[in-house]
Chain A
Amino acid sequence: MKFGVVVFPGTWSDCDFHHVVSEVLHQPVKYVWHRERDLGDVDCVILPGGFSYGDYLRAGAVAGRSPVVEAIRDFAAKGGLVLGSCNGFQILCEAGLLPGALLRNECLQYRCQSTHLVVDNVDTPFTRGLRPGQVLTMPISHGEGKYQVDAPALAQLREHHQIVFRYATAEGAVTRAANPNGSLENIAGIVNEAGNVLGMMPHPERAAEAVVGGTDGLLLFQSLLGSLVEDGTFLKR
């Protein structure tokens, strides 16, 4: 599977995703510059974390209107796989590729900490190797991660099973105390209606090697690659 990692001015998780895809998963990967209007022959585009354009206006606002995002819009419409993490999630929301918005954390401070995520939807290419209710451990690192959406849109998210990850306790209970940023319904990650565009605030690339914080993030990539299903480690359902 060929991966493209998008680089905006101010992106900083680009090298980390590149490292995981090439050194841990041994898959072909290239950087995609924000001015590109053609993604080339990639199967999955990653929008990494960072502070694109400093996030000075609104997180992801400027990047969400850049040439590469238009290319990603076409790519996604044709069924291409898109994974936005952290700033990438903010950009996908600003670009309208995902519903809702990410507001300032309820505590009004930046938060870098480990979180537990309960998996709500395993019918996406990113989660098909997981079990419903499975709890993953992944870090967050953001100042604006409070997911917000209006009531009709939330109903739609529910109806189409677009909520993929919610912040939870280690046992998988979705509680207020387990919510690190005040996200609506503890939402940590959602997909578009078609399920091929995933946005999430946590950092799967920081949980892809045992030595630096566990391997739960790797499960997403392995789902994408189909390797988990094939080797039987996590059979669906």
Chain B
Amino acid sequence: MINKSDDDILEMFRDEATKDEAFGLLLKKYQERLYWQIRKIVISHDDTDDVLQNTCVKIWKGLGNFHSQSQLFTWLYRISTNEALSFLKEKQRKHFGSGNGELEELLLASLESDPYFDGDKAQLELQKAIVLLPEKQRLVFNMKYFDEMKYEEISSILQTSVGALKASYHHAVKKIESFLISREV
């Protein structure tokens, strides 16, 4: 059942009799990938759980109107990315009020206190370096380095040109290298 194509799932979803079953199949197929996409942005597992649930509610509401001009997975990825970024902005606003507090501080705190981080010292330093990147570079680096996505896929998710993405990734790699060298990793 899990091998159903996206088109089959969408067709089932548009039929009221099979709508719930279709959404269950969609979740089984994509929930892990969406989780990791969000987790790399918000860092903490608990925050990721909240954001993922809100993302899935939005997907449920919008899936009936989804048309296959773009790939379903691209659309899902875009919703989860936007939801995660909105969550971070809201968290920053709540934490710092109208002040100019740095989002990186919050992310570093989440990273250091996260009980579900299983990496060694070098991986922790790498994650710190990633957290300190500007938002766009962080997104691109995670998608390219960890998810091994093609620039074309990233381009359709982030709606940025391939050239700009390549430049962002290049800058991100340089900054991470500098950070790791400074930390003697």
Do A and B form a real pair? no
Residues of A within 8 A of B (CB): none
Residues of B within 8 A of A (CB): none
